């Protein structure tokens, strides 16, 4: 259930302006509030530094066109650990921005963003600098996955699809001569039933593979771009089936070329 406020982590860079805008758009659709979190650096942990940070946060909110339903929060500590811990303090969703190859503090690469969302207590939406907002979450592409614990992601997809009146494409890459596992097929059926029971418009997509790559990320990204998707929805953790390539593939999804936001759980 997405019935609590939205947590948005900001490092006060131009890239995080996009995260603030996305977080507030989602909060408006869900009729909830946004907590804007900044983890102070050592140089900011004094009266002057705090004042400057607060002014920059106010400027971000104003730039995003807030209706005033924002609660600013300043914290100290390791920023990855602090953000992850804050997700457990009564929030529905984490929104944060990656700079493609870089992220918060200019040194969070795809692997670090992936590590952070894996430790978050809530689902997370990762957006890139320059993300297009006109079709945000209007169509969600959700690749099939063999994970036994997919309910959390499904619930987040349902909540956001309802809020944005989105349709969901359940995407499976079909390779010649390759048979999907029974776990994956069972989960695919579970996805479709879950969306059907929730009244969310959806369709099954079986996309023939056009390359010899063992990975799935690029084909998923290409399809999402082709259909004008406003989000990808993926499991943050690796399944046993693709564990040896999963991290690299998920990092590629988070930093995808078309800059499509990625929902992780």
Sheet holding 231-234, edge to edge: 70-76, 34-40, 5-9, 91-98, 124-128, 262-264, 231-234, 139-143, 167-174, 202-208
Same domain as 202, residue 164 = yes
pLDDT beyond 50 at 107: no
pLDDT the model gives residue 100: 54
**Three-class secondary structure of residue 6 per DSSP:** strand
pLDDT beyond 70 at 30: yes
Specify the higher pLDDT residue, 107 or 78: 78
Residue ending a domain, among 94, 128, 162, is 128
In a domain, 133, yes or no: no
pLDDT the model gives residue 212: 65
pLDDT category at 138 given cuts 50, 70, 90 is: very high
pLDDT category at 243 given cuts 50, 70, 90 is: low
* Mean pLDDT score across all residues of the chain: 89
Task: State mean pLDDT over 150-166.
Answer: 97
Q: Rounded distance, CA 10 to CA 105, Å?
A: 9
Q: Rounded distance, CA 138 to CA 147, Å?
A: 25
Same domain as 99, residue 192 = no
pLDDT category at 223 given cuts 50, 70, 90 is: very high
pLDDT category at 133 given cuts 50, 70, 90 is: confident
pLDDT the model gives residue 98: 85
Percent above pLDDT 90 for the chain:
60
Same domain as 68, residue 25 = yes
Task: State mean pLDDT over 176-196.
Answer: 91
Q: Which domain holds residue 168?
A: 139-258
The closest of 30, 21, 25 to 160, measured between CA atoms, is 30
pLDDT beyond 60 at 104: no
In a domain, 265, yes or no: no
pLDDT beyond 70 at 106: no
For residue 190, give the CATH number of its domain.
3.40.50.620
pLDDT the model gives residue 170: 98
Same domain as 163, residue 120 = no
pLDDT beyond 60 at 4: yes
In a domain, 64, yes or no: yes
Residue ending a domain, among 89, 108, 128, is 128
pLDDT beyond 60 at 165: yes
Task: State mean pLDDT over 232-250.
Answer: 79
End-to-end CA distance of the chain: 13
Specify the higher pLDDT residue, 140 or 3: 140
Same domain as 144, residue 208 = yes
Q: Sort 210 into a burial class: Cβ within 10 Å, 0-12 / 13-18 / 19+.
A: exposed
In a domain, 241, yes or no: yes
In b/e form, how buried is each residue of 169-192, taking b as 16+ CB within 10 angstroms? bbbbbeeeeeebeeebeebbeebb
CA dihedral sign of residues 215, 221, 227, 230:
positive
pLDDT the model gives residue 244: 53
Same domain as 233, residue 176 = yes
Question: 36 with 63: CB under 8 angstroms?
Answer: no
**Structural domains in the chain (count):** 2
31-45, 150-164, 203-217 — which is least confidently predicted? 203-217
Residue ending a domain, among 128, 163, 190, is 128
Same domain as 9, residue 124 = yes
Same domain as 113, residue 168 = no
| Tokens (6 digits) for 203 | 């369709």
């Amino acid at each position: 259930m997405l019935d609590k406020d939205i947590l948005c982590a900001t490092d006060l860079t131009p890239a995080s302006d996009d995260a603030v805008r996305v977080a507030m758009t989602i909060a408006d659709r869900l009729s909830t509030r946004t907590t804007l979190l900044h983890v102070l650096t050592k140089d900011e942990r004094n009266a002057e530094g705090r004042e400057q940070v607060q002014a920059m946060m106010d400027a971000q909110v104003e730039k995003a066109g807030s209706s005033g339903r924002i609660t600013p929060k300043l914290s100290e500590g390791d920023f990855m650990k602090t953000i992850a811990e804050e997700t457990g303090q009564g929030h529905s969703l984490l929104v944060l921005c990656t700079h493609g190859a870089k992220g918060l503090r200019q040194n969070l690469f795809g692997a670090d963003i992936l590590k952070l969302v894996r430790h978050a207590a809530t689902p997370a939406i990762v957006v890139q600098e320059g993300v297009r907002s006109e079709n945000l979450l209007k169509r969600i592409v959700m690749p099939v996955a063999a994970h036994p614990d997919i309910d959390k992601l499904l619930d987040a997809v349902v909540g956001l699809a309802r809020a944005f009146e989105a349709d969901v494409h359940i995407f499976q890459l079909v390779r010649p001569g390759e048979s999907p596992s029974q776990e994956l097929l069972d989960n695919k059926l579970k996805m479709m039933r879950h969306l059907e029971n929730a009244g969310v418009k959806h369709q099954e997509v079986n996309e023939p593979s056009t390359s010899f790559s063992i990975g799935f990320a690029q084909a998923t990204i290409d399809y999402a771009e082709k259909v004008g998707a406003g989000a990808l929805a993926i499991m943050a953790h690796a399944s046993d089936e693709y564990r040896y390539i999963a991290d690299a593939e998920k990092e590629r999804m988070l930093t995808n070329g078309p800059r499509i936001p990625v929902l992780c759980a």
